Amino acid sequence: MLPAHLKPKNVVLLKAVVFAACLLPLARLVWFGLTDNLSANPIEFITRSTGTWTLSFLLITLSITPLRRWLSINWLLRLRRMLGLYAFFYACLHFATYILLDQFFDWDSIVKDIMKRPYITVGFPSFVLLIPLAVTSTNAMIRRLGAKRWQQLHRLVYIIAVAGVIHYWWLVKKDVAEPLYYAVVLTLLLGIRLAWSLQGSRPIIKDARVTA
């Protein structure tokens, strides 16, 4: 059984291990690139990979509070900010792949894409909404905004996650098994929070932070 608390030096070690583990998807892409294993369509492969890891890290971040409450493992909260920032990191790679490799800064084509393709129309504002969450993820910004306003702002993550699943679902043309998996997990995570809200058992402000 995992301990409820960790010594500070163990927390530092844990965060270092998790930090390195979160880089593995990027290392995998780099390795595939170096060994010419990015499939017949490397741009699509990179776009899909960075997109799914963005969504995965969003869901992992949203799972921290339920796991902490059920398992009474307080140190899980120390990982939440890092995991949330990794979601933003992979979203940046996803967006950069589209802008640089797919469209090569053809802004007219990008604007038309955003307007015409539903999955891009949903995905682009989701990425934009992630920016203020990443910018305000520091303890200094929490103090500047105040805990209540900071918490209200970071509830945008629920909208972003829903939009992310819709973005993925619309992108897939045939087999929707994987986006369905993400949709089920997200529905479960949001359902838990809705149940807490109906029971009047809201997470306290400290627990709602994506900070360590």
pLDDT digits (tens, 9 = 90+) for 97-143: 999 998 888 889 888 888 888 888 899 999 999 999 999 999 999 99
pLDDT at residue 184, rounded to an integer: 97
As a whole number of angstroms, the distance between CA 32 and CA 55 comes to: 21
Q: Is the pTM of this model over 0.85?
A: yes
> What's the start-to-end Cα distance of the chain, in Å?
22
- Closest listed residue to residue 53, CA positions, set 22, 20, 98: 22
pLDDT at residue 202, rounded to an integer: 54
Assign 43 a pLDDT band (cuts: 50, 70, 90). very high
The CA–CA distances, whole Å, from 90 to 43, 44, 83, 156 equal: 15, 15, 11, 18
pLDDT at residue 203, rounded to an integer: 52
> Higher model confidence: residue 159 or residue 174?
159
The residues, ordered by sequence, that sit 6+ positions from 181 with a Cβ below 8 Å of its Cβ are none
As a whole number of angstroms, the distance between CA 34 and CA 12 comes to: 32
Q: What is the mean pLDDT of the chain?
A: 90
Which amino acid is located at 86 in the chain? Answer: Y
Contact 208, 151 (CB under 8 A): yes
As a whole number of angstroms, the distance between CA 211 and CA 138 comes to: 7
As a whole number of angstroms, the distance between CA 186 and CA 180 comes to: 10
